[in-house]
Every structure is written in structure tokens, then in C-alpha cells.
Amino acid sequence: MFIPSHPSDMLGFSCGDEDLDNFFALDCFAYTKQLLGKTYGYKLDSDDKTVVCAFTLANAGIRVSDLPNSRKKKIEADIPHVKALKDYPAVLIGRLGVSKDFRSRHIGSDVLEYIKYWFFDSNNKTGCRFVIVDAYNEPAAKAFYERNGFKTVFSTDEQEKAYRHLDSDAHLGTRLMYFDLMALTEDNL
């Protein structure tokens, strides 16, 4: 794993999505400098110029006190009542991209698994109950995260639009999804 520190570190990287490509080519460095997110990547062992994938993480939380009761119950289902909080610590996957040259090799799933165990590990320096992502509101993106154990916070686009105070006819570009790290405990494996 490497931490890109200069645009030259990401030269040639393209996952085929213009928004993601622009973020990793330019914006991720400003995010790091402003302490808004930290970008990591993987390169080929045999060619340290070839970036296979990149992802950006940030601190976040799930504020359940703002959620409707049914959504709140969904998030808190496996949390003992005496431990119930207004919000729960989470890590946000701000961006995740796999080079188009390395698609269909399960690299994205491997990266998600790495992130999950990285924050579940007892040596981690922070408490973190959930991994969250604002997944593109497209069937392929949502299905990818669902295959990797993520669940949508809201059952429908309309529920999420109402939560985000968007007009009912507005386009919902992303869907909030979460993974409960307690699913990695021996009791749940």
C-alpha cells in the first residue's frame, strides 16, 4: 500500500469514471492537506508506476437521532440498549476506484475486506462501529456494495430524499450504505 503525495504518483490511473479519475488525479491531495480525507493506493509489485486501485477514507458517523424510528431501529438492531447513542462512530469510504485495466479480478471487494478488518483490528487507534459509503445510485454500484455486506440505510430513494430534504422529483445521485463491523466477530462468522 502507498499514500500518494503528488499528482505524479497517480499518473495513468483511470477507473473509467470521470468524477473518480479527476478526484484521484487532482482533488485527493487537497483533501489530505486540509485533513478532510486520506487517500491510499496499491501498485503492482512488478511495476511501481502502475496504480491498481485507490481509495479515500475519512472519519464520519451515523447520527441515528436524526433518523426516522424504523431506520434507527435498523441501525441499532444489534447494539445493546444500554450502549445506545445519538450517533455511532464510522469510517467513510469517500472514494474507491479500481483501474479499468484490472477489472473483474475482485480487487474492489478485496479492498473493502481490507478496510473492514483494518478498522475491526484490536490494534486500531480509534473506535469504529460502522463503515459507510455514499454509493453511486446505480444498480451496479449498489449491487457491488450489497455483495460485500453493505446495506442501504433507507429502503427507498423517496425515504432518503425526504431525510436529505430534497424535492421528490430531485435526482438522488448516491445512496447511503453501511456495514456493521460487529458482523466480523467470531459469533457472526
Q: Please give the chain's pLDDT, 189 residues, in tens.
A: 999 999 999 999 999 999 999 999 999 999 999 999 999 999 999 998 999 999 999 999 988 888 888 888 888 888 887 676 788 999 999 999 999 999 999 999 999 999 999 999 888 778 899 999 999 999 999 999 999 999 999 999 999 998 889 999 999 999 999 999 999 987 665
Question: What pLDDT shows up at residue 188?
Answer: 62
Q: Is residue 60 part of a domain?
A: yes
Own/partner contacts of 21-27, CB < 8 Å, gap of 24 or more, are: 21/97, 23/56, 23/95, 24/54, 24/95, 24/97
CATH number for the domain spanning 92: value is 3.40.630.30
Which residues touch 81 (CB under 8 Å, ≥6 apart)?
A: none
The total number of structural domains in the chain stands at: 1
At residue 25, the pLDDT reads 96
Say if 175 falls within a structural domain.
yes
In a domain, 36, yes or no: no
pLDDT at residue 187, as a whole number = 66
Mention every residue, 6+ apart, whose C-beta is less than 8 A from residue 40: 1, 2, 3, 54, 55, 56, 57
Evaluate whether residue 78 is within a structural domain: yes
Q: Does any domain span residue 147?
A: yes
How far is 169 from 148, CA to CA, in rounded Å?
30
Q: Write out the residue range of the structural domain in which residue 113 sits.
A: 55-184
Asked if residue 18 belongs to a domain, the reply is no
All cell numbers assigned to 84: 445506545
Cell of 148: 460485500
Q: Would residue 12 count as lying in a domain?
A: no
